Chain A
Amino acid sequence: MAGADVAPPNSLCKRCNEENAVQSIRSERVCDKCFSQYVTTKAIKRMETYRVRGSTAKAARKLLFPLSFGPSSASLLHILDQHLQGQYDRMNRAAYELIVLHIDLHLDVADRKDTSELLEKYKSRFPRHTYSSLGLEQALLLDGIDWKALNMPEPPQDISQKSGTERLQQLIGSMPSATSRTDVITTLLTRLLVDIAKRNGCESILFADSTTRLAEKTLTETAKGRGFSLPWQVSDGMSPHGVGFNYPLRDLLKKELVTFSSLAIPPLADFIISHGPSSQISASSKLTTINDLMAQYFESVEENYPSIVANVVRTSSKLQPLTGDETTACGLCGLPVAEGTDGIYGWGGGQNSASRAAKQDGSHEVLCYGCSRSLNG
C-alpha cells in the first residue's frame, strides 16, 4: 500500500492504539486485527439487505455464491461464513443461505479431480453451506441461447457422439481470437450461473469482484464494444435475467483482499489458487486478451493510485440502464439490445458492410454488438 515504506517501524495501530501497525488502510497504518476488521466491515455493510429482521422466523433467502478459488471469493466466503455464524449466535437463525457453486473451466480429467478435492476442503472448513460443482460444458445444454448463431446444434437435437467437453472445446476453438474465446467463456459462465440460480430459487448472485476487478471490467467491456451492458456488470441490482447481481466486495481493492486472505485464521492459503501477476503480458502476443491488458493496467494503477481505481467504479456505477426502448434479448449473452442496434453494422461506425457480405441465410438472429464482434473477429 502507498505509504507502507515511509511509516516508522513499530509504530502503534492508528485505530486500536494497542498493536503494532503492520498494514495500511489507504494512508492509515493499522495492525493486522484492525485491518481484517476493516475488510470484514466493508463487505458486511454491503450485505445489509440480508440482516435478520423481525421476530417471526422467515425462510432464509437463498443466494448463489460462485466460488472461483481465487483470493477474493475465498475471502468473501470466509467473511460471510462468520456473518452467518454471528446471526445464528444472536438469533438462532440466519437471514440467508449460500449455495456455493464452482464452475470448472478445466476440460482435463486430472484437473477436474484437483478441483473436486479442493471443493471438499471448502466443505469441511465451511460446512454450513450447500456445495456443488459443474463443468462449463453444462452451459451447452441451456435453452435461450441462439446456438445456430454459434454454429452449434440445438441441445435436444444434438445426436453427435461427442462429449460435452469436446463440444465445448470445439466451440471455443472456433472463435477468431484469444479475446473472443475469453469473451464467449465469460458469457457462457454468466448464463450458466443465472440458470443455476433460478433453478435453485436464488434471488441473487453474490459476485466476489473487488473494486479493482470492477474497474478492470469497466474498461474491458468498453473495449469489447459492450459499453451498453455496464449498468448490469458493475452495479448492484436486478439484472435483465431476472436474478439480482450483487458485489459485496465492491469497496475493497484486490491487494487488500489478498492481504486479508493471508491473515485469516486458520490460514486460507491452501484454499486459494492464485494466478500470477499479469506484469509479464505483452501486447504483441497472439494469446494476449483485452482482459489481460486491462488486468495488467489496473494492477499498476492500484499500486499508486487506489482512489482512481475506486473512482472508475463509482463512475461506471452511475450509468443507468435504458428504459422504454424496444428491445430484444441478445441470442448469446441474453442482454437487451435496442431495436436496430444489433450486430456490428447497426450503427454509424459500421460503414464497410459493402465490402463484407452480411449473413444471408434468411433467419434474423439478434446478437448484441459485443457478441457479434466476438463471433466475427
Chain B
Amino acid sequence: MAPVPCAICKTSRALIIRPKNHQKLCKWCFITIFEEEIHHTVTSTKLFTPGDRIAIGASGGKDSTVLASVLKTLNERYNYGLDLVLLSIDEGIKGYRDDSLETVKRNAVQYDMPLKIVGYDELYGWTMDQVVEAIGKKGNCTYCGVFRRQALDRGAKMLGIKHVVTGHNADDVAETILMNLLRGDLPRLARSTSIVTGDELSEVRRSKPLKYAYEKEIVLYAHHKKLDYFSTECLYSPEAFRGSARSLIKNLERVRPSAILDVVRSGEDMAKLVPEAVTGISHCKSQKVSLSSVDGEEEGTAGCGTNGRSSGGEMADMEKKLREDEEASSREINVTATTSNEISGQRHDRIGAKTEPRNGAKREPGKKLTRQTLGTCKKCGYMSSQDICKACMLLEGLNKNRPKIEIEVDVEDEESSTLRRRMEGLALAAG
C-alpha cells in the first residue's frame, strides 16, 4: 500500500491521524499545527502582555508539561516577552508527590525555568498528613480539595505573580459544561467557559491556554516531542456528576470527533444566555474577561477520591435534596394558592397576549434565580462568595483543635507572617 502523504506538507509520510478532525499528518506538521493553534488562542484572546511574569501551574503531568513546553517554544518563536516560572504545589502527603515533583524539577532544568514548590504547610500551616492525623482519614478529601483550589493563587501571590496558567484542556472544559448542566448549576455554567477567570480587581488571574486543545492531541504532542512527564493512573476518582460527564464526553468523541469542541462552543454560547440575575455579569460589558471563579471548583482538578464517597453518592444526595424541595414547594402552593395561580396564569397568558412584546413570552416570573456576588474573604483576601472563604473556615476548625502551644497566633496573623517570611525569602533569592 502506498504511503499516505501528509495533508499539509504533501511531502512527508503521514504518521498521525489527528484526533480532532481525523486529518492525516506527518509528525512535524502535527507538532507545528498544535503549537500554532495555541499561539492563535493566546493572540486572539490577548492573553499576555510583554513583560508579564507568568506562573505555570505544574504538576508534572502531561497537560502542564505540554503547556510549559509549548509556552516556552512560543515565547521564543514569537517574542511574547514573558517571564515564565513553574509553580508546584506540595500537599504534604509523604510518598504521594515525590515522583511528580521530581519530574517538575527535571522540567525546570530542561526548560531552564525557575521552579517554586509551595507546600500546604507554608500556605495553610498544615500538611495533608497533619490534617489526616487531626481529623482522621474520613472526609479529609474535602480539605485537600478546598486547599488545592486556592493553593496556586496563594502561591502566585507569594511570588508576586499576577497571572497563573493551568493545563486545563478542551476535554476538561467540555466535561465541566456537561457536569454543570447535569447539576443544574447556571452560575458555574456561565463562568466555566471563559479562558480567563478573575477580573482586573482580583489579585491573581487564571487562564487556560490549552482550552481548545484535545487531551488526545496533548498526549500525542508529549509523545512526539519526547517530553518528560509523569504519567500515573490518577488516584482521583471523580465524583458522580463529573464521572458521568466524563464518560459522556469520551463516548461523544467516539461518535463524532468534533463533539468536544462543539460542546465547548455550546458552552461559550450558553454562557451569554444565562440571565444576568444569575451571574451578576452584565452583558453590556466586554465578554472577554468574566467574573472570576469563586472557588475554582469548576476546574477539572477538584478533590482526590481515595477516601471519597462511593460513586453515585453525589447524585443520590442531589436527587434526595431535589425531591425534598419539590415536596416543600408543593406544600407551599397550597398555602399561597392565589398568588401561584396568578403567576402561572400570567405566564401562560403571555403567549396569546397581544400587548406583550413577542420575546417577552419567554420570561417566566416566579422562578427563583440564585444570584452569586463575588467578594473577598475577610480573613485571607482570597476571592469568595461568602464572607469567609471555605479554606479559612476549614482552617479555623482545624486550628481550634490544635494543641494550645501551636495556636498562639490566630489564623490571620499566622497567614500573614508566613507570607511575610516567604516574601522576604524571595526578595533575598531574587537579589
Contacts and interface: CB of A to CB of B under 8 A. Distances in A.
Given A179-B256, A320-B273, A238 B212 contact: no
Interface stretch (B71-79, B122-130, B141-149, B315-323): B315-323
B293 to A, nearest CB: 19
A178 B367 CA distance: 38
Contact of A307 (B256, B319, B351): B319
Contacts of A318: 186, 274-275, 278, 367, 369
Interface string A246-289: 10000000000000000000000000000000000001100011
Interface string B356-380: 0011011110010100000000000
Contact of B265 (A177, A227, A293, A354): A227
Contacts, number: 195
Interface string A166-191: 00000000000111000000000000
Interface in A308-358: 308, 310-312, 314-323, 341, 344, 347-349, 351-352, 354-356
B407 interface: no
Contacts of B364: 317
A61 interface: yes
Nearest to A246: B351
A92 interface: no
Q: How large is the interface on B (under 10, 10 to 19, 20 to 34, 35 or more residues)?
A: 35 or more
A271 to B, nearest CB: 28
Given A177-B256, A308-B315, A322-B272, A355 B264 contact: no
Given A222-B263, A290-B256, A308-B315, A352 B21 contact: yes
Interface string B77-105: 00000000000000000000000000000
Contact of B33 (A45, A226, A355): A355
B316 A305 contact: yes
B151 interface: no
B23 A355 contact: yes
Nearest to B363: A320
B425 interface: no
B4 interface: no
B181 A218 contact: yes
B195 interface: yes
Contacts of A370: 262
Interface string B362-404: 1110010100000000000000000000000000000000000
Interface in B35-50: 36-37, 40-41, 44-45
Interface string B244-275: 10001011101110110111111111101111
Given A179-B256, A307-B319, A369-B265, A348 B45 contact: yes
Contacts of B268: 227, 347-349
A307 B323 contact: yes
Contacts of B349: 49
Interface residues of A, number: 70
A373 interface: yes
B339 interface: no
A48 interface: yes
Interface string A214-246: 000011011111111011000111100000101
Interface string B32-74: 0100110011001100000000000000000000000000000
A238 B186 CA distance: 23
Contacts of A49: 348-349, 351-352
10 contacts: A222-B267, A223-B248, A297-B248, A304-B316, A308-B318, A318-B275, A318-B278, A322-B273, A348-B45, A373-B258
Interface of B: 7-8, 20-21, 23, 33, 36-37, 40-41, 44-45, 170, 177-178, 181-182, 184-186, 189, 195, 211-212, 244, 248, 250-252, 254-256, 258-259, 261-270, 272-275, 278, 315-316, 318-319, 322-323, 326, 344-345, 348-352, 358-359, 361-364, 367, 369
| 8 A-B pairs closest in CB distance | A227-B266, A225-B262, A307-B322, A237-B361, A49-B348, A228-B269, A283-B251, A315-B184
